[in-house]
């Protein structure tokens, strides 16, 4: 049975999508895991990072994105086909295999309001929160891990991701604005899990864009580690680097080092992935 991990933060620009993509590629490329990436974010950054804009346009026009699953639920149709929507072997890194993608769509922007309205029409229960679960059920057993890139909000699309998540990680820059909403996320996830009758495990914070020479960054990381409400801060920090930002470009890469950088970034991402795997195996 696949272990499902959501990536969430209410603050944009914290490296959420990059961490999701990199962890998936390291899981597949180094640790032999079969991984399904699900892009729930209407900004489609994860989708274009993995398959490029041209293919995304083709899939979007053909009704082969995640938006069509939500459109079916809202409109009472049955057009979505998970087998044709999932893109196989999507990593542009030649050494990586075993990573598939369920692509997103800009149409999720409008559909979010329609899903919210559907939720109200159904009396506010959890039924409208299981659209994603039902859509991916036929392929779920094909994977070891499912990684979900959630939007930077707590709307019904995000809650659909959390409704199938066993656990979540929170990438964050160690600055005031990026860490400000952490307690709110923890509370929301805990309360939503209780509504579903189960616990969604907090695997930990992933420190991103870390500047070792920044007093603010060092102080905030220290405070986060001392905070009793935070269950875990992953021990390896992903330092700020141009190579990490450039990794979002869709093009051919020969190796993971080639994509993410060979000045310590590869080792940092390998360690982050290893820790997430260890935490997931011990807690899920």
Q: Which residue has the tokens 């997931």?
A: 280
Looking at residue 105, which CATH number applies to its domain?
Answer: 3.40.50.300
Helical residues (DSSP H) of the chain, grouped into ranges: 16-31, 45-61, 66-75, 82-85, 108-121, 131-136, 156-164, 176-179, 182-196, 215-226, 242-246, 256-260, 265-283
Domain count, the chain: 1
Give the pLDDT of residue 121: 76
Q: Which residue has the tokens 């309001």?
A: 113
Residue 219 CA to residue 103 CA, distance in Å, equals 38
pTM greater than 0.85 (yes/no): yes
Residue-range definition of the domain harbouring residue 242: 3-283
Q: Which residue has the tokens 């998540």?
A: 165
For residue 185, what are the contacts with CB-CB under 8 A and spacing of at least 6? Answer: 8, 9, 10, 154, 170
Give the pLDDT of residue 189: 96
What one-character DSSP code corresponds to residue 253? B
Give the pLDDT of residue 119: 75
Give the pLDDT of residue 138: 97
Residue 107 CA to residue 263 CA, distance in Å, equals 38
Per residue of the chain (284 residues), give pLDDT as tens. Answer: 899 999 999 888 899 999 999 999 999 999 999 999 999 999 999 999 999 999 999 999 999 999 999 999 999 999 999 999 999 999 999 999 999 999 999 999 999 888 888 877 776 666 789 999 999 999 999 999 999 999 998 889 999 999 999 999 999 999 998 998 899 999 999 999 999 999 999 999 999 999 999 999 999 999 999 999 998 999 999 999 999 999 999 999 999 999 999 999 999 999 999 999 999 999 99
Give the pLDDT of residue 123: 62
């Amino acid at each position: 049975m696949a272990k499902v991990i959501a990536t969430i933060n209410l603050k944009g620009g914290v490296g959420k999508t990059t961490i999701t993509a990199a962890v998936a590629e390291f899981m597949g490329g180094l640790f032999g895991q079969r991984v399904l990436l699900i892009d729930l974010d209407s900004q489609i950054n994860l989708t274009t990072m993995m398959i490029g804009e041209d293919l995304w346009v083709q899939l979007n026009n053909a009704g082969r994105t995640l938006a069509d699953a939500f459109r079916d639920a809202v409109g009472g149709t049955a057009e979505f086909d998970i087998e044709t929507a999932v893109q196989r072997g999507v990593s542009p890194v030649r050494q990586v295999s075993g990573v598939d993608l369920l692509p997103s769509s800009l149409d999720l922007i409008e559909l979010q309001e329609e899903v919210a309205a559907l939720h109200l029409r159904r009396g506010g229960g959890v039924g409208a929160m299981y659209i994603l679960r039902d859509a991916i059920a036929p392929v779920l057993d094909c994977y070891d891990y499912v990684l979900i890139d959630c939007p930077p909000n707590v709307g019904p699309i995000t809650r659909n991701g959390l409704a199938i998540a066993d656990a979540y990680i929170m990438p964050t820059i160690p600055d005031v604005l990026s860490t400000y909403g952490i307690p709110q996320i923890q509370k929301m996830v805990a309360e939503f899990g209780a509504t579903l009758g189960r616990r969604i495990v907090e695997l930990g914070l992933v420190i991103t864009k870390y500047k070792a020479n920044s007093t603010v960054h060092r102080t905030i990381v220290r405070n986060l580690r001392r905070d009793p409400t935070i269950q875990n801060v992953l021990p390896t920090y992903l330092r700020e680097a141009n190579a990490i930002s450039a990794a979002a470009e869709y093009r051919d890469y020969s190796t993971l080092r080639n994509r993410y950088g060979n000045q310590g970034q590869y080792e940092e991402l390998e360690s982050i992935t290893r820790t997430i795997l260890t935490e997931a195996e011990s807690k899920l």
